[in-house]
Amino acid sequence: MRAWIRRFLQRPGTLDLAPYRRLLGPIGEREDAVRELDDTELTAAAEQLRRDDGRELDRADVIELCALGREIADRRLGERLFDVQLLGVQALLAGHVAQMATGEGKTLTAAVAAAGYALRGRRVHVLTVNDYLARRDAEWMEPIYTQLGVTVGWVSQSSTHEQRREAYSRDVTYVAVNEAGFDYLRDGLCGSEDERVQPEPGVAIVDEADSVMVDEARVPLVLAGTVAPEDAGNPKIVRVVGSLRKDLHYETDADDRNVHLTELGSQVVEKGLGIDLYDADNFPTLAAVNIALHAHALLHKDIDYIVRDGKVQLISESRGRVHLRQRWPDGLQAAVEAKETVAVTESGEILDSITMQGFLRRYPVLAGMTGTAVAVGEQLREFYKLEIVAIPPNVPCVREDEKDRLYTTVERKEDALVAEIVEQHAKGRPVLVGTLDVSESERLAKRLLAAEVPCAVLNAKNDAEEAAIIAEAGSYGAVTVSTQMAGRGTDIRLGGRDAADHERVAELGGLYVIGSGRYPSSRLDDQLRGRAGRQGDPGGSVFFTSFQDELVQHYGKDEIPSAVEETADALTDSGAQLAVDHAQRVAEGVVMEIHRNTWRYHQLIEHQRALLKQYREKVIASDVALEGLEETAPDRVKELRETVSDEVLAQVARQVELYHLDQRWAEHLAFLTDLREGIHLHALARQNPLDEFHRAAVPAFNRLRSEVRERSAETLEKAEVTDGIDLEAAGVRKPSSTWTYVVHDNPFGSEAERAMGSVVAMLRGKKRRR
């Protein structure tokens, strides 16, 4: 009933804190006794909580864990857990998402909870948003873990195979969520238990849970096998397409998500390439032209990607930082690389992939922390069966959040924004400016420099220096410009890193946060605001917006009042502000529907993956592969038992079947991708696309194992077997190497959809001109 009422009141996920508050008194009562224990006795007391059965901590155990954790943190780090942090510990131990504001001590809260799980025999992964935080938090919290008798390790992109095995063997492992996902995919191709780095999952505690679980939930992590460079990014096509002009040679839709050639554009391309673009024989060229057109018209340098060290590197929409292993699909990556005249990178056959949501749902126990969870409570419940516990701040927030300052044009908005920064800087008040992309941050920095206001710029181009930049953002007179503050992981203290000028800055009103425009999600706005007003400090925030902002133009253009006074001042009409609010709500709804639709398709894929993994484990651990070959190739097996030992034969059968199993799974994934990309055509026949997807995908998977057996038998028939098997001589070639990358579900549709869309658009254009 309470959950229903919460949903009715649009307050999802705010679980009752009363059961957790009731333990604060007993925890406090244990404080004096625990303080009397020496270090050895503290560790011994923690050992009394240890069990190997994985059972949850009972009430008395939670009280003891919190009391011990509070004392140890005070001794080892000089940080005594606040009562609100102990509420967070309890929420995490109950398998919930704890909403805790920035600066409330989520790192320490997670460490105590992770130790509690580890003491019960559960292997814990603390999943961060980047390598820097994984290493920092593991090393920072290590004294607490050690005192509690718990081992801790960390993994980064540069970790070797042995270093990964060692880190994952610890009770608690800190690792970036993408890196953990890639390790899982690589382990899925191992031929024996000894080759793996990750043990079976136990508990995941996810930092920045809303960003990881919602914003990036549909992001597939991809494992590919290297092959020759793909034939994409044709220089001639790139050159011809690069000469085209918007609204003359091509047009985009209202959302700038699709682009098509006009009739004139088609003529220019046909003349430049010397072909009939729409002849059936030139379909691959038409697809390549459309890919190049997307790269030219819809993907922008310093907004969607940067060029650094001779490489095109994509920028994360939700984090504003570079994704070192993120790529675009369908040749789009190569087209952008050709556009920027950098070396075209290798393509590869996809060996396996899994969405972030599918990866996280593998953990039997899933919990998380973030500053903005309640806003996505329904999504966390729908997709992960998680509830939210809203933890109040230790000291009430006194930050002053002003109303948006809305302007008619981007130019007027930026003029006013720069003037506000100059005014605040003259007072000495520190200012943190959140921008929407790299180009905007650099443009703003140039204007501030011209106004003789020095500023530090934090964007995807210099993310390596982020911790040092953020730590000083609260200094007297500091001006910091950042593309995105979510997941930065460093507190902004008034008066700088050492808080030397805390009182001086506090008297000026504290940190002033300015947003250069609304983000597509209100949670990102709140995350930016949350950087001010830490631990009861004074602070303020305001967002500068305009009717020309991309968000409003895409999602709220029709809501802009027709009779708006042309003025350089901020608009005061409440109806005008509704257009911005509406645009943001629509954007959030679009993302939610994409997430929901993506998961509908991936649910079946994840079920099939689980069945395949189950069988693959059986192949590794038993002689089921040999038993299968005895049925499909009895004569060949009989011949080989006469010449090799049973042990060698079983191992050969295992190697052959594992290869074909992995190969057949890769082919099945490619089939499902093609199936999904074309499934929308069933809607034209008034059929349910999801039902049709299932109708084709299920029998295809059911045939997989029998086809693997047949291929294995064929390989064994022609293979030379002595003390082992030469797979390459038998025509079985494994990838020379594997590589990983992240890619969003294709935002532009398949090549076929793009080519068809171009044809349809051209025909419509001809019809209009008749």
Give SS3 for 301. Answer: strand
Q: Is the pLDDT of residue 329 over 80?
A: no
Q: Which amino acid is at 510?
A: G
Q: Is the pLDDT of residue 418 over 80?
A: yes
Q: Helix H segments across 216-324?
A: 235-242, 263-273, 283-297
CB-based contacts of 556, cutoff 8 Å, min separation 6:
579, 580, 582, 583, 584, 586
What's the confidence (pLDDT) of residue 143?
Answer: 98
> Per-residue pLDDT averaged across 267-278, rounded?
90
Q: Is the pLDDT of residue 756 over 90?
A: no
Dihedral of alpha carbons 704, 709, 714, 718, sign: positive
The residue whose two tokens read 């809303």 is 210
- DSSP collapsed to 3 states, 520-571: CCHHHHHHHHCCCCHHHCCEEEEEEEECCCHHHHHHCHHHCCCCCCCCCCCE
What's the confidence (pLDDT) of residue 226?
Answer: 60
What's the confidence (pLDDT) of residue 343?
Answer: 84
Considering only CA atoms, which of 123, 119, 21 is closest in space to residue 65?
119
CB 483 within 8 A of CB 460: yes
pLDDT digits (tens, 9 = 90+) for 485-525: 555 566 789 999 888 999 999 999 999 999 999 999 999 99
Q: How far is CA 505 from the centre of its chain?
A: 35
What's the confidence (pLDDT) of residue 748?
Answer: 45
Give SS3 for 437. Answer: coil
Considering only CA atoms, which of 598, 622, 371 is closest in space to residue 491?
371
Q: Is the pLDDT of residue 675 over 70?
A: yes
The residue whose two tokens read 């780090």 is 77
What's the confidence (pLDDT) of residue 10?
Answer: 44
Q: Which amino acid is at 744?
A: H
Q: Is the pLDDT of residue 8 over 50?
A: no
Q: Helix H segments across 161-262?
A: 161-168, 177-187, 209-210, 235-242
Confidence band for 232, pLDDT divided at 50, 70 and 90: low
Between CA 30 and CA 99 the distance in angstroms is: 27
Q: What residue ranges in 287-328 does DSSP mark as E strands?
A: 305-308, 311-315, 322-323
| Burial class, 263, CB count within 10 angstroms (exposed 0-12 / middle 13-18 / buried 19+) | middle
The residue whose two tokens read 């011990």 is 68
The alpha-carbon radius of gyration of the chain (Å, integer) is 29
Q: Which amino acid is at 331?
A: G
Q: Is the pLDDT of residue 630 over 50?
A: yes
The rounded percent of the chain whose pLDDT value lies above 90 is 57
CB 571 within 8 A of CB 564: yes
pLDDT digits (tens, 9 = 90+) for 452-488: 999 998 875 555 577 778 889 999 999 999 886 555 5
What's the confidence (pLDDT) of residue 466?
Answer: 72
Between CA 305 and CA 439 the distance in angstroms is: 10
Q: Which amino acid is at 92?
A: L
What's the confidence (pLDDT) of residue 385?
Answer: 95
Cα dihedral 9, 13, 16, 19, rounded to 10, equals 170
- Segment among 91-100, 133-142, 687-696 with least mean pLDDT: 687-696
What's the confidence (pLDDT) of residue 463?
Answer: 52
Q: Is the pLDDT of residue 425 over 70?
A: yes
| Helix H or strand E segment including 133 | helix 131-147
**pTM listed for this prediction:** 0.86
Q: Is the pLDDT of residue 749 over 80?
A: no
Q: Is the pLDDT of residue 431 over 80?
A: yes
| Helix H or strand E segment including 624 | helix 624-632
- What rounded mean pLDDT belongs to the chain? 87
Task: Count other Cβ atoms within 10 Å, centred on residue 430.
Answer: 29
Between CA 171 and CA 145 the distance in angstroms is: 9
Strands 311-315 and 305-308: antiparallel
Q: Which amino acid is at 730?
A: A
pLDDT digits (tens, 9 = 90+) for 152-185: 999 998 899 999 999 999 999 999 999 999 999 9
